[in-house]
Structure 1
């Protein structure tokens, strides 16, 4: 199971970077919503990693300097892989959401949610790119594996 989860984070890392690159290449055409969504996508993975590791969390909708996004994505990837390799993925962890409500999930569930969440928002970003006259990226997992 750990190998498959690592593969999914490699996929997530790869296409997050591709989306950041596409936005960068078309920065004068993208709208604020696109910038907000790529930041939120990266922030969410950082938040889920931080919940597992007990680290300080980003704001879910904070806007980071654009030039930092590639490094944030890379650090997210490294931390997710480190969690997979060092933690029992069945271990349940208690955390609080941004509203202060307490929840408990397995580390696997938390990490899988981060992957799924990224995929969802990359789809939204692709729709926005298309609306702004930018060719959307093929970010489906199957394209990554081809």
Structure 2
């Protein structure tokens, strides 16, 4: 996979994360408090893992000791932090060479175990991990009476891939 393709996938991620958070804001918190909270916890978990793997890719320590934070950010806070994080990925990917993408990086998992992955595999993990959890968020949105966004690459490519 070349840099352009990976960047397109991260632009898709940025778009669908934003669409998903906008949908979460439409959940009636008075009647679906628990479901709304769970959607935010899941989106925050996606963000935390994105941040952890971003640090891993550049060989920096991160401050996370768990795969979520004790506090639950608002949808508006997540709109900002998730967009900034994905924008960082896009900028970083644009600066990576094929050798960088193939580089094996050693890191430590939050649970203390040691890991080793190619940079490309880390990027794929970030993409697939978010997709998996957004699927659960989509189900919770439906259960809360909110139509989830169409979390499919084809819709993004057709309607939003104009950068």
Quick check: TM above 0.5?
yes
Are 1:112 and 2:119 matched, yes or no? Answer: no
1:86-143 per-residue CA deviation (whole Å, 9 max, x = no partner) reads: 3311111001111111111111100111001111111110011111221121111111
Alignment match, 2:154 = 142
Alignment match, 1:61 = 68
Contact 1:51–1:57 (8 Å) recurs in 2: no
2:79 aligned to which of 53, 70, 75: 70
Flag structure 2 segments of 5+ consecutive residues without an equivalent.
159-163
Rg (Cα) greater in structure: 2
CA distance in 2, matches of 1:72, 1:123: 20
Are 1:90 and 2:90 matched, yes or no? Answer: no
TM-score by length of 1: 0.92
Are 1:4 and 2:5 matched, yes or no? Answer: yes
Flag structure 1 segments of 5+ consecutive residues without an equivalent.
none
Contact 1:48–1:110 (8 Å) recurs in 2: yes
SS at match of 1:89: helix
Alignment match, 1:37 = 42
Shifted more, 119-128 versus 49-58: the winner is 49-58
CA distance in 2, matches of 1:81, 1:52: 13
TM-score by length of 2: 0.83
> CA distance change for structure 1 residues 71 and 27 in 2, over 3 Å: closer, same or farther?
farther
Alignment match, 1:22 = 23
Contact 2:107–2:116 (8 Å) recurs in 1: yes
2:51 aligned to which of 26, 46, 53: 46
